[in-house]
A and B are shown apart, each in its own frame.
Chain A
Amino acid sequence: MRLRKIKEFIGFGIVRLATIIILLALFAILYFIVIRGIKVVNWQFLSQMPHSGMTAGGILPAILGTFYLTMCAICFAFPLGVAAAIYLTEYAKQGKLIRIIRIGVSNLAGVPSVVFGLFGLAVFVKFFGFGISILSGGLTLGILILPTIIRSSEEALLLVPHSFRWASLALGASKWQTIFKVVLPNAVSGMLTGSILGIGRAAGETAPILFTAAAFYTTKLPCSIFNEVQALPYHIYALMTEGVHPKAQVPIAYGTALVLIFLVLGINCIAIIMRNRFRRRQKW
C-alpha cells in the first residue's frame, strides 16, 4: 500500500519536473532576450532606417520586409492549400493514391528549411527569373508553410459534421454547392487558425529567404515585389556574422530578436484566440 503511494509520488514527480523544465526553458529564452534586447528597443528603433553601416538607427525595413514576405507567402499558400485540402477530403476517391499524397505532404513538412531555400533559388530566382526578391522569398516561404495549411484545412473540413453534407445533398444541392455553401463556411475559421500558425512559422524562418529574398542592407524601403528586402530573422543573422563593429551590432541583434519573438508570439496568440472563439460559437 505504502509502496504504491511512493511509486505514485515519484511518477507524478517526474512528469511535474518535466513540465517545469520546459516552462523554465521557455522563460529562460524570453528572459535572456528581453534583458539583452530591451535596452535598444524604443519607438525610433521600430520606425527608423538603419544607418552608419547598421551600427545605429532602427530596423523598420526588416519589419516591413518580414511583413511583405509573410503576406506574399500566405496569399500564395492559403488558396492553394485550401484547394488541395478540399480535393483531398471532399473529391478524391479515398485510396492508395490519396494515401501516398498525404504521406508526401507530411514529408514536405519534414524537409529542412534550407532545402526549401535552395529550391526557391533554383526555381523562383533562376528558372522563373524573379531574381532575389519579395516574390521569390514569399513563394518559397509559401511552399514551406503549405503542408501546415493543407493539414489544418483538412482537419477543419473533416470536423464539419457529415449530417450537414447529407442535409444539403438531400435538398438537391450539387456537391460543389454543398462544399461552398455548407462545408467551407463552417470550416473557414479552423483553416484560418492553422494558417495563422503557418504565418508565425514563416515570419521566423531564415534559411528559405537566405538565397531568395534577403538583403543585408537596403537604403530604401522596398517598393515592388521584385525588390530584395531586409527581414527580421536574416537581419539578426547578418548582424551577428558580418560587419566590423560587433560591440554596436550585437545589442541591435538582440533588440531585433525581441521584436521578432513578440511578433511571432503575437501572431500565435491571435490564432489561439480565434480558435477559442470559434470553438465556443459552434454548437454541433
Chain B
Amino acid sequence: MVKMAINMDYAERRNRDLTFLKRFKMSTTNLNIWYGAVHAVKNINLSIEKNKVIAIIGPSGCGKSTFLRSLNRMNDVILKSRIEGKILLDEKNIYDTDVDVVEIRRKIGMVFQKSNPFPKSIFENVAYGLRVNGIKDKNYLEQKIERSLKDAALWKEVEDRLDSLALDLSGGQQQRLCIARALAVEPEVVLFDEPCSALDPTATAKIEELIQELKKKYTIVIVTHNMQQAARISDFTAFFMLGELIEFDKTDKIFTAPSKKTTEDYITGRFG
C-alpha cells in the first residue's frame, strides 16, 4: 500500500518533470563560475522557456556576459575559467563529458556585443557556419543565405552586393549580418550579448523588431543595459547583481511590482 503510494507519487512527479522539460528549453542548476579566484556567477538556478525572450539585466560586472557565455560553452575558451553545476539543453547536461562542444555551439548561437563579421564577403560570412558544417551544395547555400538575410531584415539592403566586403557595411548592418550568420546554422537558442550597445536608435529599433519576429522560431536570451529595451522586448527578466540572481519573473511583474527592494531600486535608477 505504502509502496504504491510512493510509486504513484513518483509517476506523478515524473509527469510533472516531463511537462516541465517540454516547456523549458534550457535550465541551469546550481551554476557557479570562477575566473581564477574571482567568483563571477554564484549559484544560479534559472529556467528558460521555449520560444520566449529572456532578458538579463544588472549593473556592469555582475556576471551577465559570463552567464550567457556559459550557456553555449563559450567560457571554455577563456583561460582560467572554471564552472560547476548543470546546464540542461532539453534533457541533456551540456557540460557532460560525452557532449560534443561543437554540436552545442551549433545548436545555441551567439551574437556578440561588438559586431564581428569576418573580413570576407557578405555571402561568405553567412555561408561560413554552413560550410564548416560540411554543406557544399551551391543552390542550397544560396537559398539558405537569402533566407537568413531575410530573417535578419538585411536582405533588401544587400541583395545586389553580396560579394562586397562585410566590413564596408554600417555598424547596424554589420550587427544584423552577424545575426544572419548565427541564424544560418539553424540554432535552437540564440544568445545576444548587448547587441544594440553600439547602435543608433533606428538600428536598435530594427533589431528589437527582429527579435520579436525571431522568438516565433527560436528561444532567445538577451543581455541588455537598457531597461526600456528589456521591458519592450522580453517575456521574462532576470536581474543579476554581484554574480547572484536576485529576481527572475515575468517582465511585467519585474517592472511593475518587483518583489525585492534591490530590484526596484535598480530599475527605478536609484543605483547602477
Partner of B132, one of A94, A161, A163, A173: A173
Nearest-Cβ distance from residue A281 to partner chain B, whole angstroms: 9
* Whole-angstrom CA separation of A191 from B167 in the bound complex: 23
Q: Do B185 and A171 have beta carbons less than 8 Å apart?
A: yes
Contact residues on A (Cβ < 8 Å of other chain), bracket: 20 to 34
* Whole-angstrom CA separation of A165 from B77 in the bound complex: 10
Known contacts A94-B79, A181-B132; A172/B118 CB under 8 A: no
**Contact of B34 with A by CB under 8 A:** no
**Contact of B163 with A by CB under 8 A:** no
Contacts of B102 in A (CB 8 A): 172-174
Q: Do A167 and B109 have beta carbons less than 8 Å apart?
A: no
**Contact of B85 with A by CB under 8 A:** no
**For residue A161, which residue of chain B has the nearest CB?**
B116
Contacts of A182 in B (CB 8 A): 118
**Contact of B147 with A by CB under 8 A:** no
Known contacts A171-B109, A171-B181, A283-B167; A166/B133 CB under 8 A: no
Partner of B178, one of A165, A167, A181: A167
Nearest-Cβ distance from residue A130 to partner chain B, whole angstroms: 42
What string of 1s and 0s marks CB contacts (under 8 Å) between B118-160 and chain A?
1100000000110111000000000000000000000000000
**Contact of B103 with A by CB under 8 A:** yes
Nearest-Cβ distance from residue A159 to partner chain B, whole angstroms: 12
Q: Do B106 and A171 have beta carbons less than 8 Å apart?
A: yes
Nearest-Cβ distance from residue B112 to partner chain A, whole angstroms: 7
What string of 1s and 0s marks CB contacts (under 8 Å) between A166-196 and chain B?
1111111110010001100010000000000
Contacts of B129 in A (CB 8 A): 171-173
**Contact of B74 with A by CB under 8 A:** yes
Contacts of A177 in B (CB 8 A): 132
Q: Do B77 and A284 have beta carbons less than 8 Å apart?
A: no
**Contact of B110 with A by CB under 8 A:** yes
* Whole-angstrom CA separation of A186 from B132 in the bound complex: 17
Contacts of A163 in B (CB 8 A): 112, 114, 116
**Contact of A226 with B by CB under 8 A:** no
* Whole-angstrom CA separation of A127 from B119 in the bound complex: 47
Give chain B's interface residues, CB within 8 Å of chain A. Answer: 72, 74, 77, 79, 102-103, 105-107, 109-110, 112, 114, 116-119, 128-129, 131-133, 167, 178, 181-182, 185
Q: 5 pairs across A/B with beta carbons < 8 Å?
A: A161-B116, A168-B128, A170-B105, A171-B132, A172-B105
Could you list 5 further interchain pairs (A-B, Cβ under 8 angstroms) beyond the known A161-B116, A166-B112, A166-B116?
A94-B79, A165-B77, A167-B117, A170-B182, A173-B129
The 7 residue pairs across chains A and B that have the minimum distance between CB atoms: A172-B106, A171-B129, A163-B116, A173-B132, A170-B110, A167-B116, A172-B105
